[in-house]
Structure 1
Amino acid sequence: MTKNYADLLAALHINGAHPGSFKQTKRMLNTLELNKQSNVLDAGCGTGQTIAYIAQKYACTVYGIDQHEEMIQKARRRAAEIPSPVRVFKGNIEELPFEENSFDLVLSESVTAFTQVRKALKEYRRVLKPNGTLVMNEMTKIGHLDPDEQAEFKAFYGFSELLEEKEWKNFLASAGFEQVDSARVPAYKDAPGEVYHIEKLDKAYNDMLMHHQLLTEKYASKVGACLYVCHD
Structure 2
Amino acid sequence: MTYLDLIIDLFKNTPRQGPGSTAESLQALALMDLPNEALTIADIGCGSGNATLTLAQNTQSKITAVDLFPEFLDQLKINADKVGLIDQIKTLEASMDQLPFEKNTFDVIWSEGAIYNIGFKKGTKQWRKFLKPKGYLAVSEITWTTNDRPKELNDFWNEAYPEIDTAANKIKVLEENGYRLVGYFYLKPESWIKNYYEPLALEFDAFLQKHDHSEDAKAIVKEQREEIELYKNYQDYYSYGFYVAQKIIKTPSSN
Same fold at TM > 0.5: yes
Aligned letter for 1:190?
K
Q: CA offset at residue 130 of structure 1?
A: 0.4
TM value normalised by structure 2? 0.77
Output the amino acid matched with 2:68: Q
| Partner residue in 2 for 1:198 | 204
1:194 is displaced (CA, Å) by 4.5
CA positional deviation for 1:124: 2.2
The amino acid that maps onto 2:166 is E
The answer for unaligned runs of 5 or more in structure 2 is 209-217, 249-255
Q: How many residue pairs align between the two structures?
A: 229
Distance (whole Å) between structure 2 residues aligned to residue 57 and residue 146 of structure 1: 40
Structure richer in helix, relative to its length = 2
TM superposition outliers: structure 1 runs of 4+ over 4 Å: 3-6, 192-195
1:153-168 pair list within 5 angstroms: 153-155=157-159, 158-168=160-170
TM-score, length of structure 1 as denominator length:
0.84
Deviates more, 1:204-213 or 1:141-150: 141-150
- Return 5+ residue gaps in structure 1 as ranges: none
What is residue 155 of structure 2 aligned with on the other side? 151
Give the equivalent residue in structure 1 for 2:253: none
Query: In structure 1, what is the equivalent of residue 72 of structure 2?
Result: 71
Q: What is the CA-CA distance between 1:3 and the residue it aligns to?
A: 4.3
Counterparts of 2:243 and 2:127, CA distance in 1: 13
Aligned to 2:42: 41
Residue 211 of structure 2 corresponds to none
Amino acid at match of 2:66: I
CA 1:21–1:5 in structure 2 vs 1: closer, same or farther (change >3 Å)?
farther
- Amino acid aligned to 1:51: T
Cα deviation, 1:8-47, whole Å, max 9, x if unaligned, reads 7615x22224444232113333444365510011111010
- 2:125 equivalent to 1:122: yes
> Cα 1:221–1:56, aligned 2, differ >3 Å: closer, same or farther?
closer
Asked which structure has the greater CA Rg, the reply is: 2
C-alpha RMSD of the superposition: 2.8
DSSP-derived class of the 1:216 partner? helix
Question: Does structure 1 conserve the Cα–Cα contact (< 8 Å) formed by 2:112 and 2:141?
Answer: yes
